[in-house]
Amino acid sequence: MARYVMAVDTSRCMNCRACILACQQRNGLRYGYYRNWVRRTPDAGSPSGFAFQPGSCMQCENPPCVAACPTLATYKGKDGVVRVDKERCIGCGSCVSVCPYGARYRDPVLGVADKCDYCAPSRALGLEPACVQACATRARIFGDADDPNDPVAKILAVRKVTRVEPPEHSPKPTQVYLGETKPTDWPRTTALAAPLAMMHVVAGAVRWLGALSLFGVVGVFLKELVLPSGSGPRDPDKTA
């Protein structure tokens, strides 16, 4: 099984935003919604005066969105890509709020979560992700990190890699940057939404109380089999 990884060389990005449009077109996104982005930061050292940083879902190794999803509609595939099963998604949005990168949104019409899946449908046809194909300067490099002949594996072997991650509880992003990138301090660890955090507590309480109730009943049932409580005059079957 391939392990898909994207490496982004931000020094090549010139903020043409073709990747954003290509993604919208390929995936038929609704007007005004994006699966990827280019961050623009003032940078005196750059010829344009700005540092550009393309990004999208970081396809984390420990994705907080998967842990936050009550139905596991969001899952991490064996190929390393975090995906949304739209049939299972109930649109609770807990993945949207918990993502440190803001890489998700709730589709306003379908009411389900939407995010980058490295163009899974067209990838199945043998195409590269739209953002990779559209990039004029080849700032985005995509492929199978486990295949030593793959361009992404070759470049990861020789270039310094920077991970943009929150300062604490890093979800271990697998989308990486080659060399230096700016800024690196923007992702934020976000707590699970209160109702879902409370569902952990309720699930635990029901687990213990349910077990108590079930095993209590089984215990009383077995006790009655072994040591019947007797048929005194109060037993209605006898007096009926």
Using CB under 8 A, list all residues that contact another protein: 67, 69-73, 85, 87-88, 90-94, 96-97, 106, 108, 110-112, 193-196, 198-200, 202-207, 209-210, 213-214, 216-217, 219-221, 223-224, 227-230, 234-237, 239-240
Least distance from another protein to the Cβ atom of residue 174, Å:
22
Peptide bond into 183 cis (omega under 30): yes
| Cβ-based nearer residue to another protein, 160 or 234 | 234
| Cβ-based nearer residue to another protein, 126 or 228 | 228
Strands 36-42 and 50-56 turn out to be: antiparallel
**For the chain, where are the alpha helices, taking DSSP H only?**
18-27, 64-68, 94-98, 120-123, 130-134, 151-158, 194-226, 236-239
Least distance from another protein to the Cβ atom of residue 106, Å:
6
Least distance from another protein to the Cβ atom of residue 102, Å:
14
Strands 176-178 and 4-8 turn out to be: parallel
| Token pair in block for residue 184 | 């690196």
| Cβ-based nearer residue to another protein, 76 or 88 | 88
Least distance from another protein to the Cβ atom of residue 58, Å:
21
Distance CA 177, CA 159 (A): 10
